[in-house]
Amino acid sequence: MIENRPGLNLLAHLTLMLGVAIVALPVWVALVASTHTATDFMSGTIPIWPGPHLVENYARMLDAGVSTSGTPPVGTMMLNSLVMALLIACGKIAISITSAFAIVYFRFPLRNLAFWCIFITMMLPVEVRIVPTFQVVADLGLLNSYAGLSIPLIASATATFLFRQVFLTIPDELTEAARIDGAGPLKFFRDILLPLSRTNIAALFVILFIYGWNQYLWPLLITTSSDYYTIVAGIKRMADAVDGLPQWHLVMATAMLAMLPPVAVVIGMQRLFVKGLVETEK
């Protein structure tokens, strides 16, 4: 439907502006809050315009953190989050692309059962199985470790399903041509499937990185040592200040910093990401 009426254009733009305002306002408030000092919040109102303490607040968070709430400097938490998000994103992609490869291209007994088992786990998110998962991770001695942070979240039915759909769109004749060209299964996987799903891998990486970065409940449960705090869980700990008011200006500065890596990933991979979501031709 292509209409060209000024009235409709105006309406469309107003709707979009409203949408942007709804999304951007909290970010603006956080940004403004991170440029004030603790005393500016005493009155109970949040300032609407930026204050002069931006550099000071951010430098303090990056350098020392808030020792009263027991959190390490933001740098350490950012690094922990980065390691966790990368391990989860890469691990999920690696595991799901190989399982999709097995399910689509090999005829083995109970193949359909395997697929349905994977598919059914989509109905069991982390929160549902969190107690038994915690038990397993604790018994394996993985509390307070990168392995404990990432491995329980690393299997992905959604990604497996997505790669299965991608592989199903690759024409059979291409597989047959590769067979005649003498490409064994692994060579076929490396030379044909991987390059052809490049854009899908990129799109999935963006989504999974953000998923991993935003993990909150799981890191909160299994990290007790501040060396392994992730930034999202760290913000929560900071806001929970005992005997004192939360240091809102510092919490907001941390929140702003926590937003940066996902934004960087989205912007950096935007072109591939969009291509991966809309491209259908193989």
- Residue 190 is given by DSSP the state I
Residues 6+ apart with CB under 8 A from 156: 92, 95, 96, 208
Residue 66: CB atoms within 10 A of its CB come to 21
State which residue, 63 or 176, has the beta carbon closest to another protein: 176
Residues between 185 and 214 that touch another protein (CB under 8 A): 187, 191-192, 195-196, 198
Min CB(171)–another protein separation in Å: 7
State which residue, 111 or 179, has the beta carbon closest to another protein: 179
**Binding residue for another protein (CB under 8 A) from 21, 126, 177, 264?**
177
**Binding residue for another protein (CB under 8 A) from 129, 179, 190, 271?**
179
State which residue, 123 or 180, has the beta carbon closest to another protein: 180
Least Cα distance to 101 among 187, 202, 215, 213 occurs for 187
- Candidates 65-73, 107-115, 181-189, 239-247: pick the segment binding another protein (CB under 8 A): 181-189
* Residue 63 binds another protein, judged by CB under 8 A: no
Q: How many CA atoms lie within 13 A of 26 on its CB side?
A: 5
Min CB(186)–another protein separation in Å: 12
Min CB(61)–another protein separation in Å: 45
* Residue 129 binds another protein, judged by CB under 8 A: no
* Residue 259 binds another protein, judged by CB under 8 A: no
- Kindly state the tokens that stand for 77: 């938490």
Residues between 155 and 174 that touch another protein (CB under 8 A): 171, 173-174
Task: Outline where 106-193 has alpha helix (H).
Answer: 111-120, 130-139, 146-150, 157-169, 172-180, 185-188
* Residue 181 binds another protein, judged by CB under 8 A: yes
| Distance from the Cα of residue 76 to its chain's centroid | 18
- Cα separation, 245 vs 191, in Å, equals 58
User: Which residue type does 95 have?
Assistant: I
Q: How many CA atoms lie within 13 A of 222 on its CB side?
A: 29
* Residue 56 binds another protein, judged by CB under 8 A: no
**For binding to another protein (CB under 8 A), which residues are involved?**
171, 173-174, 176-183, 187, 191-192, 195-196, 198, 281-282
